[in-house]
Amino acid sequence: MWCDEGVFALAADIYLHKTNKFSDLFLCMGPFHWTRVLLRCQGKLLRGSGLDDALIECGVFGPGMIETVLNGSHYVRALTGMLMVEDLIHKLEWQAFWKHKDKATYPVLEQMKELKCM
């Protein structure tokens, strides 16, 4: 349970019991809470995929910390971990792109590859 769920429940309770006073009130979650939901969903998708073991073996996170990263309960570490995973995926996509595209079809690729290496 998130610590802010109690605050949200309290706000909803006040809103429902004092409808006349708070008729123009609209309760919603902010970007911080939506990000936590997203991190938790990403962690659920990645759990058991081997990524958690890889992050531990590479020394990015300790064995006791990986669960807080995957369930999004530690915001900064979860966000850092997911950004690292995203960066890794992009690098793998670029490696596959450079490996399977030929120079004759895409002549500008050689120039882009040189720019990338710089």
> Does any domain span residue 6?
no
> Does any domain span residue 18?
no
CB 78 within 8 A of CB 68: yes
- For the record, the structure tokens of 34 come out as 């939506």
> Does any domain span residue 113?
yes
Kindly report the CA angle at 85 between 30 and 76, in degrees rounded to 5? 40
Counted domains in the chain: 1
> Does any domain span residue 35?
yes
Tens digits of per-residue pLDDT, 56-98? 888 888 888 888 888 888 889 899 888 988 898 888 888 887 7
> Does any domain span residue 23?
no
Res 4 pLDDT > 60: no
> Does any domain span residue 102?
yes
Q: How far apart are CA 107 and CA 118, in angstroms?
A: 18
Question: Average per-residue pLDDT in the chain?
Answer: 80
- For residue 105, the enclosing domain spans 31-117
pLDDT value, residue 1:
41
Q: How confident is the model at residue 46 (pLDDT cuts 50, 70, 90)?
A: confident
> Does any domain span residue 54?
yes
pTM above 0.75, yes or no: no
